[in-house]
Amino acid sequence: MTGATLDADVVVARRGFRLEVRVTAGAGEVIAVMGPSGAGKSTLLAAVAGLARLTEGRVRIGGKDVARAPRPRGRGRGMHMRPAQRGAVLLGQEPRLFPHMSARENVAFGPRAQGIGRSVALGEADDWLWRVGMPGVGDKRPAQLSGGQQQRVAIARALATAPQVLLLDEPLTSLDPETAADIRAMMHEQLMLTRSTAVIVTHDAVDAAALASRLLLVEEGRVTQEGTVREVLRAPATRFASTIAGLNRVVGVADGRMWRAGREPEVLIEGPAPSPAVADGDALAAVFRPGAVRLERSREATWTAAVRVAARDSPRPGEWTSRIVRIEQTPAGARVHTAEPPVAVDVPADVVAEEGLAAGVPVRLRVEPADVRLQPVPTGRSAAGAAS
């Protein structure tokens, strides 16, 4: 990507794991990176920051190589610039403030290390503390601040160095929801005002939607989907992507204009024709919201009886028999998880009690064609992630 503030082609190989991710970001662009635990997200940031060495590839920040893996067979030497020289700042879940310094001195530390005079740096630190909603606390040490306050100071310290690239590794995970919401809003404002280029690793789709313009999904060390946050959350390409988007995504095969699951009794789901079109028998995903599914308890008391009746009655497309695997409480009621195929259904809490819903209970599900999107399933490595 010509002119990118960050252009990183990262390959890090370790025993039993290989990370292979390309990430580019222009000036002022904020990219969110999401993926399951162990996917390699933190390793990606560590490689950009200089805390992990490349096996292959290179990292460029501000048009300058800061890391380059050695070429095989001695055809080229590698280089690894120290973290402090890269123009990238990494902020993780823990603030990691200097305990013996005041909040003001912590924020001023970076500018002082860059050669700015003490009085100027301390004055800028006070300004940054005001920007992050912490005026008047400059003289306090970290032990006198709450966790949320410490994280605000850490963000101020990171921004005060005017990094070319800001790397944020789940900075809100350790905070309570109310404090996280406040800091998320503050971070959004500061990233917009400073036009900072940032890469944010998060497990929270709200973070991605609130802070980033582009979303990168990493699974098993590979990029499985990339696009604007809206595009990825609206049309998830893998099971993980559908989970963070709050959608059901079940993989079957194309059968005319329908999705079909190869099980007994057979399940057919109807929806608009997928784009691009797929041939009958090709892998096809049906995507729909948990709130779009209608659920009622089956008249049959056992799963065996329910399956026998369903096979005999041949239900119409969009209706099928399943059984409950588990029920989770949600702020709006309950989410019922069913098997064969695995589908989540949102229902009011009183319905759970009224219908006597519990694990193992057979149920009837229904989803209307207008609430379904049919999507082709990617081939190759990403297809394995899509079907898992």
- The predicted-structure confidence for 80-102, as pLDDT tens digits, reads as follows 999 989 999 999 888 999 999 99
**Quick one: 158 and 249 in the same domain?**
no
pLDDT band at 4; cut points 50, 70, 90 = confident
Taking only the tens place, the pLDDT of each residue in 149-167 is 999 999 999 999 889 999 9
**Quick one: 225 and 356 in the same domain?**
no
**Quick one: 35 and 138 in the same domain?**
yes
Q: Looking at residue 216, what is its pLDDT? A: 97
Say if residue 381's pLDDT is above 60. Answer: no
Is 317 part of any domain? yes
Q: Which amino acid is at 352?
A: V
Q: What is the mean pLDDT of the chain?
A: 89
Is 1 part of any domain? no
Q: Of the candidates 192, 215, 231, which is a domain's last residue?
A: 231
Give the side-chain half-sphere CA count within 13 A for 365.
29
- What integer is the mean pLDDT of 242-259? 91
User: What CATH code is carried by the domain that includes residue 198?
Assistant: 3.40.50.300
- Tell me if residue 116 falls in helix, strand or coil: coil
**Quick one: 191 and 65 in the same domain?**
yes
**Quick one: 110 and 74 in the same domain?**
yes
Q: Looking at residue 76, what is its pLDDT? A: 66
Taking only the tens place, the pLDDT of each residue in 200-242 is 999 989 899 999 999 999 999 999 999 999 999 988 989 899 9
Q: Looking at residue 326, what is its pLDDT? A: 95
Say if residue 26's pLDDT is above 60. Answer: yes
Q: Which amino acid is at 85?
A: Q
Is 245 part of any domain? yes
Q: Measured between alpha carbons, how far is residue 97 from residues 102, 133, 153, 165, 285 in Å?
A: 9, 17, 8, 20, 47
User: What CATH code is carried by the domain that includes residue 248?
Assistant: 2.40.50.100
Q: Of the candidates 231, 260, 287, which is a domain's last residue?
A: 231
**Quick one: 266 and 224 in the same domain?**
no
* Domain encompassing residue 72: 6-231
pLDDT band at 74; cut points 50, 70, 90 = low
- Tell me if residue 173 falls in helix, strand or coil: coil
Q: Looking at residue 385, what is its pLDDT? A: 42
Contacts of 286 (CB under 8 A, 6+ apart): 248, 249, 250, 252, 259, 269, 271, 372, 373, 374
Taking only the tens place, the pLDDT of each residue in 182-197 is 888 888 888 888 888 9
CA–CA distance, 388 with 376 (Å, rounded to integer): 15
Of 321, 299, 323, the closest CA to residue 310 belongs to 321
Q: Does a cis peptide bond (omega within 30 degrees of 0) precede residue 276?
A: yes
CA–CA distance, 45 with 42 (Å, rounded to integer): 5
**Quick one: 224 and 248 in the same domain?**
no
pLDDT band at 1; cut points 50, 70, 90 = very low
User: Number of folded domains in the chain?
Assistant: 2
The rounded percent of the chain whose pLDDT value lies above 90 is 65
- What integer is the mean pLDDT of 272-280? 85
- What integer is the mean pLDDT of 41-69? 95
pLDDT band at 382; cut points 50, 70, 90 = very low
**Quick one: 49 and 113 in the same domain?**
yes
**Quick one: 151 and 197 in the same domain?**
yes
Q: Looking at residue 247, what is its pLDDT? A: 94
Token pair belonging to 264? 């007994």
Q: What is the dihedral of CA 245, 247, 253, 255, to 10 degrees?
A: -120
**More confident of the two residues 326 and 71:** 326
Q: Measured between alpha carbons, how far is residue 322 from residues 103, 265, 325, 337 in Å?
A: 57, 9, 9, 10
**Quick one: 279 and 217 in the same domain?**
no
Cβ neighbours of 283 (radius 10 Å) = 17
Give the side-chain half-sphere CA count within 13 A for 16.
1
The conformational region for residue 170 under phi > 0 = left, psi -120 to 50 = alpha, else beta, is left
**More confident of the two residues 173 and 63:** 63
**Quick one: 106 and 183 in the same domain?**
yes
Say if residue 289's pLDDT is above 90. Answer: yes
**Quick one: 101 and 53 in the same domain?**
yes
Give the side-chain half-sphere CA count within 13 A for 357.
29
Q: Looking at residue 2, what is its pLDDT? A: 43
Q: Looking at residue 45, what is its pLDDT? A: 97
Taking only the tens place, the pLDDT of each residue in 166-181 is 999 998 887 888 888 8
Say if residue 379's pLDDT is above 80. Answer: no
CA–CA distance, 58 with 68 (Å, rounded to integer): 4
Q: Of the candidates 231, 260, 275, which is a domain's last residue?
A: 231
